[in-house]
A and B are shown apart, each in its own frame.
Chain A
Amino acid sequence: MQPQFTLPPHLLAKSFPFHFVFNGDRTIIQSGEVLQRLIPDIIGSQFTKCFQINRPIIQTANFAAISKQSHSIFILKSLHSEMTLKGQMIPVDDCEAIFFLGSPVVTEISQLNHIGIKLKDFAIHDSAADFLFLLQAKSRLMDELAEREVKLKDILRGKEEIATLAEARARDIEQALENLQRTQAQLIQAEKMSGLGQMVAGIAHEINNPVNFINGNLTHIDQYVQSLITLLKLYQQYFPQASPEITDCMEEIDLEFLLIDLPRIVASMQTGTSRIRDIVLSLRNFSRLDEAEQKDVDLHEGIDSTLLILNHKLKQGIEVVRKYGDLPKILCYPSQLNQVFMNILSNAVDALFETDVKSKQIVIQTCVAGSKQVCISIQDNGNGIPPEIKERIFNPFFTTKPSSKGTGLGLSICHQIIEKHQGTIDVISELGKGTEFTIKIPIS
């Protein structure tokens, strides 16, 4: 059905506040209320004096050319203000006129002021205002999202900081636990060593007395034996013709051999007792119970005492090569350093018991390294330490030995004792070739 009604001009002007109409010679003959307010001389003005056509591109913008573009979107730039209008040209054939229906292009509410219009200037049916509000809402939303992103980043940063802190705390706790375990292990070992030291010292002391009087009496026995032999020889000299009973007895006891062997037996007993005295001395030296404080000591003494204690094991086919340098006396806790030598040498002995190498050897070298420290190297030619466990050998409770043989505390305590002396302990090991521990201790 064809439309029969149209708006009267005053309502059209109200409903399309930005419309205008121009005739064949492009004179503007009518316009909307708001446009008249913005361009007071618009009525009667030439279209080209008020507007420039930005779109579509028309070479010669005469009435006919504009008429042909009735299906195009027109963008008109006002020559009097910042305003740009968007709309369509509607040619009316009956009266040789073209209607422009459109409204300002605005993408931000703040532009309204520049143009000199208000939201109220838009017709109610015009969605330009809604479009503006929608854009504004979108812009607010973008701001909100940006704010939220900043907040989230802050929260993430905070969480990262907390995580870092928690990690650090966990590391601290782990470290504390490790220290605690180490201290506990050290205490246990120290207690054990102390008990062992006391026992060794006690035994050494108890053995020392009888050995001393055996040794003391042996001197007298030696003299008495010598005297009796001298007397016997005098009898033989002055009474060569002994009675048959005496002659029989001399043969029975093999007097000739007895006279040769008896001084030898005494000498052998003296050697035995002096060896016992040496062992006792080494035991006391090793335990050094009387030396809990730091003291200047000869490290070679400590190493030798330790070797003497391990002698029963070393005798089973292990050669010890000592390459001692000229060491100054070192201020240290001697019994603790002896414990270090004992642990490393014991391990070396155990390692050598497990190897098939023919000439089992422990080489102990000492020297002064630079002017500030002494260096003790203990090297065995056993099977060596596998690389995957080499990093863990100083960890407390780490052991490759069966539980009945090893606690896993030996080397960890060595490490701590050397640290206590401000020294270092390093290990070099090659599978099939052996292991070398190098201890460096500051001279002062």
Chain B
Amino acid sequence: MYGLVNKAIRDMVCSRFGEETWNKIQHKAEVEVDTFISMESYPDDVTHRLVKAASLVLGLPASAIMQAFGEFWVQYTSEEGYGELMAMSGDTLPEFLQNLDDLHTRVGISFPKLQPPSFDCEEIEGQKLHLHYHSHREGLAPMVVGLVKGLGTHLNTDVEVTQIQSKSEGADHDEFTIQYKPN
């Protein structure tokens, strides 16, 4: 994972729980990196350890932390210099979700070691979408739920996300139903 992800985890914890809590998490995770560099690649294990330690320190399930992080990620990246890229990806939720792969492709130019997920979004009927999520990583589905909610906030759209198929339960990939309503 690129440092940007770990930096975002740090910022989320610090903004909500304070720096002292972050220091505890970092200590528990045995991560000795003092400052993550956005464009530097770190082992996935660092991110996993941080999430696990955050779960222990904050007394929350890892899935709840991942979902909260997904929501935070949208806001964080839009403020951390990727707002234009996001604006380019679409003004509506379906358009944005359909362009997610393009967005990741463009990000891959700046982040050559990026191993992005892949999203396939199909419109089922009025204001209902199916989002197919493919990733070589495990356990990030809750983050996708948060991401979609975060995008809803970002695009001023009410969303309801339900996971209807899970890779962790043996399915080929994760799948979500999204009910949305622009405000």
- Chain A complexes with chain B: yes
Chain A residues in the interface with B (C-beta under 8 A)? 109, 118-120, 124, 127, 129-130, 132-134, 136-137, 139-141, 144-145, 148, 151
A133 to B87, CA, bound (A): 13
> Is A118 a contact of B88 with CB atoms below 8 Å?
yes
Q: Tell me which residues across on chain B come within 8 A of A130, comparing CB atoms.
A: 106, 109-110
Contact of A133 with B109 at beta-carbon distance under 8 Å, contacts A118-B88, A119-B87, A140-B80 already known? yes
> Is B88 a contact of A136 with CB atoms below 8 Å?
no
A442 to B48, CA, bound (A): 77
> Is A140 a contact of B81 with CB atoms below 8 Å?
yes
| Residue among B80, B87, B88, B109 making CB contact with A134, cutoff 8 Å | B109
Question: Can you give 6 contacting A-B residue pairs, CB < 8 Å?
Answer: A129-B88, A133-B85, A133-B110, A134-B109, A137-B38, A137-B110
Question: Does B39 reach chain A (CB closer than 8 Å)?
Answer: yes
A141 to B7, CA, bound (A): 13
A367 to B68, CA, bound (A): 89
> Is A141 a contact of B84 with CB atoms below 8 Å?
no
Question: Does B35 reach chain A (CB closer than 8 Å)?
Answer: yes
B100-124, CB under 8 A of A: which get 1 and which 0?
Answer: 0010001101110000000000000
> Is B37 a contact of A141 with CB atoms below 8 Å?
yes
Q: Tell me which residues across on chain B come within 8 A of A127, comparing CB atoms.
A: 109
Contact of A120 with B39 at beta-carbon distance under 8 Å, contacts A133-B109, A134-B110 already known? no
Q: Tell me which residues across on chain A come within 8 A of B39, comparing CB atoms.
A: 137, 140-141
Residue ID in chain A nearest B38 by CB atoms: A144
Contact of A140 with B38 at beta-carbon distance under 8 Å, contacts A133-B110, A134-B109 already known? yes
Residue among B37, B80, B84 with the most chain A CB within 10 A?
Answer: B84
B109 → chain A closest CB, angstroms: 4
Q: Which 10 A-B pairs have the closest CB atoms?
A: A137-B110, A130-B109, A119-B88, A140-B81, A109-B84, A134-B110, A141-B39, A148-B35, A133-B110, A136-B81
Q: Tell me which residues across on chain A come within 8 A of B110, comparing CB atoms.
A: 130, 133-134, 137
A79 → chain B closest CB, angstroms: 28
Residue ID in chain B nearest A145 by CB atoms: B37
| Residue among A133, A141, A148 making CB contact with B106, cutoff 8 Å | A133
Q: Tell me which residues across on chain B come within 8 A of A136, comparing CB atoms.
A: 81, 84
A148 to B110, CA, bound (A): 21
A129 to B88, CA, bound (A): 10
A137 to B81, CA, bound (A): 7
A287 to B102, CA, bound (A): 101
A-contacting residues, B53-89, CB 8 Å: 80-81, 84-85, 87-88
Q: Tell me which residues across on chain B come within 8 A of A133, comparing CB atoms.
A: 84-85, 106-107, 109-110
B23-43, CB under 8 A of A: which get 1 and which 0?
Answer: 000000000000101110000
Contact of A120 with B88 at beta-carbon distance under 8 Å, contacts A134-B110, A136-B81, A137-B110 already known? yes
B128 → chain A closest CB, angstroms: 26
Residue among A129, A134, A144, A145 with the most chain B CB within 10 A?
Answer: A144
Given pairs A124-B102, A130-B109, A144-B37, 7 additional interface contacts (CB within 8 A): A119-B88, A120-B88, A130-B110, A133-B107, A133-B109, A136-B84, A140-B39
Contact of A151 with B38 at beta-carbon distance under 8 Å, contacts A119-B88, A140-B81 already known? no
Q: Tell me which residues across on chain A come within 8 A of B38, comparing CB atoms.
A: 137, 140-141, 144
Q: Tell me which residues across on chain B come within 8 A of A144, comparing CB atoms.
A: 37-38
Residue ID in chain A nearest B7 by CB atoms: A144
A50 to B62, CA, bound (A): 60
